[in-house]
Structure 1
Amino acid sequence: MEQTSQKVDMDHVRLSEDGRYVVILDQSKLPNLAEYLTLETAEDIYEAIFHLRVRGAPAIGICAGYGMYCLAQTIDTDSFDAFYQKLREYGEYLNSSRPTAVNLSWAINRMEQTAYKHKKLPVKEIVKLLGEECRKIHQEDIAMCKKISQYGLSLIKDGDGILTHCNAGPLATSRYGTALGPLILGKEQGMNFHVFADETRPLLQGARLTSYELDKAGIDVTLICDNMASMVMKNGWVQACFVGCDRVAANGDTANKIGTSGVAILAKYYNIPFYVLGPTSTIDMNCPTGEQIKIEERNPDEIKKMFYKQPMAPESVKCFNPAFDVTDHTLIAGIVTEKGICRAPYEESLAALFGEEKEDD
């Protein structure tokens, strides 16, 4: 895994110039160091996803798509069956790195289906088609983020206060981002917002990434600890909550970074609309409710040791460290996608998105 330092003025997940490797901005080093990693092996890609060097559901999907293409180039066989078996082994391995984000499995499946659909072609031609497909995944995400940003911007007005949790900006997606996209787009159009960014413990994505992105975009941002959200809401400083998502169930239940559910409960109490923003690729219509969403549990050291010079709890103390929680659909005022804003009942409005998609095919 090669490391280089560059300016943060390019796509944060992309192919290397020769198209053989995946290049990512190492989000775990931000905001103090902008370091790019070149991922050369399946183990490199797995490690980068697992250790949150690349994170955010759409960005993980883009990384997986590029990763599958790069790995496909290393499979030395002219037999489709042997090629496809090895490609699926790579896919299964990468998919095990983070179970909650549906974009990971979505992108892997899309790449595998592309290969299978063209199984009668020579393997070299299939690899070229995989290269085209992974680039499509990225370009589609760029377009989706722009549309999500436009729909999201229609929900707020100039001067509003917005509270967000975790990170769903350009780092986690493409260009504009999802939850931060409306704010960045609005700023470009001359609008001003005041954003309260939850610190987002235990990995501090709100502090390290969201406040970093908003500050770079020239947006007025105030960093708060997670347990301060109630106070800023009570003070009347928040007119809407915008968050991203890693998986949306068919009934509208939404998995996002741990702490999101608490923000939604507070927003409901203070009569503040709580919006979830994400591409349709994060909607899992095969998952009936949030009860079926597998929640990743992470290393206890992220609570006790990470970011501290010395451990902040005795070694013998147990930790419960889920990476995500599920926000009940009854707490969500709207789910903003590139196809429009879905409202309750979500079983109907989410299904309609895919009904329209089938009609367009």
Structure 2
Amino acid sequence: MNSSTNQVYPVIWHNNAVSLIDQTRIPNEYTFVEISRSEDMAVAIKTMIVRGAPAIGVAAAYGIYLGATEIHTDNRDEFLNHLENVAEMLRSTRPTAVNLFWAISRMMKIAYETLGTVDEIKQVLFQTAQIINAEDLQTCQAIGDNGLKVLPSNPEKLTLLTHCNAGALATAGYGTALGVVRSAWREGRLARLFADETRPRLQGAKLTAWECVQEGIPVTVITDNMAAHCMKRGLIHAVVVGADRIAANGDTANKIGTYSLALVSKAHNIPFFVAAPLSTIDFSLSDGDQIPIEERDPAEIYQVGDTILTPSGAEFYNPAFDVTPAEFITGIITEKGTFAPGELRRLQEKQVV
């Protein structure tokens, strides 16, 4: 993207390398990081240069391919053994986002199933990473349009609230929760988006607001603890958030603070939607208690830039995600339609996923 266009693509294959928007520098700087080694991709995912579950999945797919190009052997078994080490390195970066593991598993399955030379396996891995990238963009556009169908019909112009960033920056482009916002804006249904700032890393204030400003979407940033007040005043018509992992029963892990937002939505009788691709559903987990929760550096809480916010001697707890119980979720918006949390098992039985 440049200053004259509003398209945002956070993960791009360009000149034999992966070009990542450095999301740690937005909104102050719009810069790219070129990644040509699998180890550097792992660092980029870990340090949140690239973030958002679908975008992490796309980046990891390219990371597997980059790792494949670094393996110099013609022996198939030796190649696959080394590629397993690359996969494990990438898996260790972010434990909560299931799209990471889904993309790596898909790439590894292709590697094992592809017959032929090592060079032919590498070529198929590259093609698969590109397919994953393209599929995610199409998926997000479908999520946005499906979300538009289930938003409240009254009033005609809606004010929506979102948490964290589930936009183009968090995907291959367009977004999940922010994809719904984009579709509503495109069809003239959106009056305004309220964006939680999303402590401690401020993805809402920095990233979601930035995306909206680029496209001229009216956006109001509020602190995380203002949501209930805004709802009580009638300022919010529906909430749409993303997801990093959804258990089989519909329990949903998303950025820390999502659970409390669901609770206050329920208290004010406001629809609470989760927007996510079907690849985010982890049917191996029966409920949200089994979802691993990443804990991050406490410095994210006590420090902003060079400024220390808290007194020496204080202790910190910094879970990156929380789990919203299915009972507080109105519907899960996917590329195949919107489903009540309790309907997810039926999707699996019908082999929709």
TM-score, length basis structure 2: 0.95
Aligned to 2:184: 186
In structure 2, distance between residues paired with 1:192 and 1:273: 16
Please list, as runs of the form range in 1=range in 2, the aligned pairs for 1:1-361 lying within 5 A after superposition. Answer: 9=7, 11-18=9-16, 21-118=17-114, 120-156=115-151, 157=153, 158-307=156-305, 309-344=306-341, 346=342, 349-357=343-351
Query: Post-superposition shift, 1:340?
Result: 1.0
Query: Would the aligned equivalents of 2:8 and 2:173 in 1 still touch at CA under 8 Å?
Result: no
In structure 2, distance between residues paired with 1:310 and 1:177: 32
Specify the SS of the correspondent of 1:314: coil
Query: Would the aligned equivalents of 1:28 and 1:52 in 2 still touch at CA under 8 Å?
Result: yes
In structure 2, distance between residues paired with 1:336 and 1:182: 9
> Which letter does structure 1 place at the counterpart of 2:349?
G
Moved more, 6-15 or 88-97: 6-15
How many residue pairs align between the two structures?
348
Query: Post-superposition shift, 1:256?
Result: 0.2
Specify the SS of the correspondent of 2:313: coil
In structure 1, distance between residues paired with 2:350 and 2:33: 39
Percent of aligned positions with the same letter in both sequences? 45
Specify the SS of the correspondent of 1:29: coil
Change (3 A) 1:271 1:29: same
Query: Post-superposition shift, 1:6?
Result: 6.0
Specify the SS of the correspondent of 2:24: helix
Query: Would the aligned equivalents of 1:164 and 1:196 in 2 still touch at CA under 8 Å?
Result: yes
> Which letter does structure 2 place at the counterpart of 1:264?
A
Q: Which runs of 5+ in 1 are unaligned?
A: none
Q: Which runs of 5+ in 2 are unaligned?
A: none
Query: Post-superposition shift, 1:175?
Result: 2.4
> Which letter does structure 2 place at the counterpart of 1:96?
S
Query: Would the aligned equivalents of 1:57 and 1:101 in 2 still touch at CA under 8 Å?
Result: yes
In structure 1, distance between residues paired with 2:43 and 2:311: 28
The root-mean-square deviation of aligned C-alpha atoms, in Å, is 1.5
Query: Post-superposition shift, 1:10?
Result: 5.1
In structure 2, distance between residues paired with 1:315 and 1:256: 30
TM-score, length basis structure 1: 0.93
Specify the SS of the correspondent of 1:296: coil
Query: Post-superposition shift, 1:306?
Result: 2.6
* CA deviation string 1:64-123 (max 9, x = no partner): 0011112111110111111101111000011100000000111111100000011x3111
Specify the SS of the correspondent of 1:272: coil
Query: Would the aligned equivalents of 2:42 and 2:63 in 1 still touch at CA under 8 Å?
Result: no
Moved more, 156-165 or 195-204: 156-165
Moved more, 190-199 or 56-65: 190-199
In structure 2, distance between residues paired with 1:63 and 1:15: 10
* CA deviation string 1:299-325 (max 9, x = no partner): 111100133x42111232110000000
Query: Would the aligned equivalents of 1:245 and 1:256 in 2 still touch at CA under 8 Å?
Result: yes
